[in-house]
Structure 1
């Protein structure tokens, strides 16, 4: 006879998932154990297995729920009907905010998905492609002169900028996630000397004689 779910089943399951993401991120998926997770959750191993059948089930759920949040952000920003550059900047801002508040989930997604079985890994990869393709379409619209084979590498360069920020960025540091997102947006769209970067003054226009080295007082 199947065990009846308690009224707070989903709440407890969510708490276990949060603890698992923290444990996997800190110790890595192969090194973390169900016993360690049960201790972190303050419950017995048999009770933990009532919520999740094994470590792989937990790993998939961490990656899948994180990607579902990212997909929801992609769809929500698309519904705003922004112009292309504003659309891309809004996505960057939303993603950077999510990464800052879900560091452990994102770390597990980036580092540990390779330990999933083939079918589970395929499902995760499909959702990752949905997210990446949304960014790639915007980049292709912004830079239509880019050869098709360069759009994906350029897109993944942007993800490299965003994805690895979580390894050092702290929300309680000197700049918040919104300011960090603006830095990423400006650097990606306009380069490191972008006037939009904090502390970078707009470049002054050169006067026609600046590089002519004319003699003083107009002497010949």
Structure 2
């Protein structure tokens, strides 16, 4: 008969993942030990191994969880069946919000996925491809000729280039908020620098 999990088991797993993501983001995967993760969680090393067998399993769980949330975000927006421009603007807004709330996980994904085994890297990359494809499709819905020119994916990658590293310079308690910057990113995408609303509201088309 399977042994029942102790009360709080799932909560403890989440705490471990949060602490490990913070340590990996700050010190790098290679620069973090399981001892440090255990100490940050208030656990013994033996107790930590009860939840995760090694550091690579921790890394895979962090990356997989982040990608799964991004894929779920894409699916949720698709289910709203919005017109092309609002759909793309909502995707941008949701991505920026997700990165705001998962800065450690996002940094680990972008910097440490190379430490995973090849088959695990491929699993993560498959999720990333789904996310990029969803944005490229949304761009093609706005401008159908992008598909024929094969420019949809490069433009999608440029878009992610704008938002992927926002955590490096956007201060959580600064004057600019993630919500404001999501609007700015959308404005830049749709109209270039001349389209950016300086009061945080998209400029009206002339």
Q: Is the 8 A contact 2:184 2:200 kept in 1?
A: no
Question: Which residue of the partner structure matches residue 194 of structure 2?
Answer: 193
Question: Which residue of the partner structure matches residue 170 of structure 1?
Answer: 171
Q: Is the 8 A contact 1:193 1:200 kept in 2?
A: no
Q: Displacement of 1:185 after TM fit?
A: 0.6
Which deviates further from its counterpart, 186-195 or 157-166? 186-195
2:134 aligned with 1:129: no
Which deviates further from its counterpart, 163-172 or 86-95? 163-172
Q: Displacement of 1:3 after TM fit?
A: 6.9
Q: Is the 8 A contact 1:100 1:170 kept in 2?
A: no
Give the greater-gyration-radius structure (CA): 1
Q: Displacement of 1:198 after TM fit?
A: 3.4
SS of residue in 2 equivalent to 1:193: helix
* Gaps in structure 1 of 5+ consecutive residues: 206-220
Which deviates further from its counterpart, 82-91 or 134-143? 134-143
Q: TM-score, normalised by structure 2?
A: 0.92
Q: Is the 8 A contact 2:183 2:200 kept in 1?
A: no
Q: Is the 8 A contact 2:34 2:55 kept in 1?
A: yes
Q: Displacement of 1:176 after TM fit?
A: 1.6
Aligned CA-pair RMSD = 2.2
Question: Which residue of the partner structure matches residue 214 of structure 1?
Answer: none
What is the CA deviation profile of residues 99-155 of structure 1, one whole-angstrom value per residue up to 9, with x for unaligned ones? 111100000011111110011111111111111110010112222223443221111
Instruction: Flag as ranges the 4+ runs of structure 1 deviating above 6 A.
Output: 199-203
Map 1:52-67 onto structure 2 (within 5 A): 52-67=52-67
The structure with the greater share of residues assigned to helix is 2
Q: Is the 8 A contact 2:187 2:202 kept in 1?
A: no
SS of residue in 1 equivalent to 2:190: helix
Q: Displacement of 1:200 after TM fit?
A: 9.8
